[in-house]
Structure 1
Amino acid sequence: MIQKLILVALAGAVGTLCRYGLGNLVHRWLSAGFPWGTVCVNLVGSFAFGLVWALAVQRAVIGPEARLIILTGFMGAFTTFSTFMFETGELLRGGQWLFAMGNLALQNIIGLLAVLAGMALARAL
């Protein structure tokens, strides 16, 4: 168990560094007026999550422990947006359209409001 935790943490460290590096690289290449770095990280992360998941679950090419390390450790640090998109996609694949739309609306709208509320609280302190 300790070994798994260490491997997840190490993969998380690598994911964090990759997020930082890719985000900055894209930001330097493209206009600073739009968050292209974050967009790129989220899209690459979503694609990679889907690829790893399918290889692990549908093709059985990636084992459960490697899947944990890659998806929870690396991808969790690289972008949690990929997990959000995957879970929403699973709801859609399961025919749960209302839950999928609710998940999109709840996390995006309430998430934005939470950020703004946190910023307002910090200014008020």
Structure 2
Amino acid sequence: MRLILAAFLGGVLGTSLRFAADVAVPHTTDQFPTGTLLVNVLGAAALGWLVGGLWTRPAVPAWLKVALGPGVLGSFTTFSAVMVSLVAQGAAGLWTLAVGYLAASVVLGFAAAALGLWLGRLFDERLTRRRDIA
């Protein structure tokens, strides 16, 4: 029950953050969905950082991992929003925009996740070294 509550509360927070991003950076079908791209790239980097660092630590409780991963980041970043934008752009005949958006989403998403993993591992290694020295 604790894990379900953690996912629920994290989801409420992530969805609220996502809605705020959509309000802050709105777009129409014929515009590049910058807000969605930024949210998904930021979420990929954050999840990479968590997986590469924080989640490797045995002391991190499962409820926190669930709240942050599937909860906050799962509801903040949405694959479905990417697909809706792509389908809407294609239906409107905006193929160049759709292909550019898809390419940007994949390339920047992978790059952000890789950067997040690297930073998470680097952060974890530094914390481990500090603890070993102390």
Give the TM-score of the pair, scaled to structure 2.
0.51
Q: How does 1:20-39 map to 2 (within 5 A)?
A: 20-27=19-26, 33-39=31-37
Hey, what does 2:15 align to over in structure 1? 16
Q: How does 1:10-89 map to 2 (within 5 A)?
A: 10-27=9-26, 33-59=31-57, 62-81=60-79
Give ranges in structure 2 of 5+ residues lacking alignment.
92-134
* Separation of aligned partners in 2, 1:53 and 1:34: 30
* Separation of aligned partners in 1, 2:21 and 2:59: 27
Asked whether the equivalents of residues 56 and 64 of structure 1 are also in contact (C-alpha less than 8 Å), the reply is no
* Separation of aligned partners in 1, 2:10 and 2:61: 16
Higher relative contact order (CA 8 A, sep 6+): 2
Alignment length (residue pairs): 83
Give the TM-score of the pair, scaled to structure 1.
0.54
* Separation of aligned partners in 1, 2:34 and 2:23: 9
Give ranges in structure 1 of 5+ residues lacking alignment.
82-107, 120-125
Find runs of 4+ consecutive structure 1 residues off by over 4 angstroms: none
Provide the secondary structure at the position in 2 that maps to 1:7.
helix
* Separation of aligned partners in 2, 1:61 and 1:52: 14
Do the aligned partners of residues 53 and 21 (structure 1) sit closer, same or farther apart at CA in structure 2, a change above 3 Å counting?
same
Asked whether the equivalents of residues 53 and 67 of structure 1 are also in contact (C-alpha less than 8 Å), the reply is no
